[in-house]
C-alpha cells in the first residue's frame, strides 16, 4: 500500500519561506508524476505544480517564480520550496502521485494522496 507523508508545514510571516517534504513508502515513484495541491478553508482543492519523472516541472500561475518542486528519487521524497509567501498561500498542502506519469493538473488525475500539512501565512 502506498503511503505519502507530508511534513514541513507551519506558521510563517508574509515574505517568508517554507519547505515541504513528501516521503513515500510502499512504492518507488521514480516514474510517477508527483503533484502538489492545496486547499484553503471553504475552497476547492487547487493545483500548485507537478514534477515528472524526467525532472520537468510545471506550476500554477499563482505560484510561478515563487515555488519550486524537486525530487530525490534515492530518498523517495518530493519537496516544495515556497518563497515570498503571501497570506493567500494559506491552505492545507497535499502531495499526490500519478501512476501513469504524464501531465496532470487536476486532482482526479492522481491515484494516491498524502494526508496534508497546514501552511499558515500571517500578514
Q: What is the pLDDT of residues 73-116, one digit of tens each?
A: 889 999 999 999 999 999 999 999 999 888 899 999 999 999 99
Q: What is the pLDDT of residues 90-102, one digit of tens each?
A: 999 999 999 988 8
Helix (H, G, I), strand (E, B) or coil at 96: strand
Predicted pLDDT at 28: 79
27 pLDDT tier (thresholds 50, 70, 90): confident
14 pLDDT tier (thresholds 50, 70, 90): very high
Round to whole Å and give the CA distance between 89 and 74.
Answer: 29
Predicted pLDDT at 24: 92
- DSSP β-bridge partners for residue 98: 33
DSSP-assigned letters across all residues of 43-69: S--EEEEEE-TTS-EEE-TTTTTTEEE
Round to whole Å and give the CA distance between 117 and 9.
Answer: 5
Amino acid at each position: 500500500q502506498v503511503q505519502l507523508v507530508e511534513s514541513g508545514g507551519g506558521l510563517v510571516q508574509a515574505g517568508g519561506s517554507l519547505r515541504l517534504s513528501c516521503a513515500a513508502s510502499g512504492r518507488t515513484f521514480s516514474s510517477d508524476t508527483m503533484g502538489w495541491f492545496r486547499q484553503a478553508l471553504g475552497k476547492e482543492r487547487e493545483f500548485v505544480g507537478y514534477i515528472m519523472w524526467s525532472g520537468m516541472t510545471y506550476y500554477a500561475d499563482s505560484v510561478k517564480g515563487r515555488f519550486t518542486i524537486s525530487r530525490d528519487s534515492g530518498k523517495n521524497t518530493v519537496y516544495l520550496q515556497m518563497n515570498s509567501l503571501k497570506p493567500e498561500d494559506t491552505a492545507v498542502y497535499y502531495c499526490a502521485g500519478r501512476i501513469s506519469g504524464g501531465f496532470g493538473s487536476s486532482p482526479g488525475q492522481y491515484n494516491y494522496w498524502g494526508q496534508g500539512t497546514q501552511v499558515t501565512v500571517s500578514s
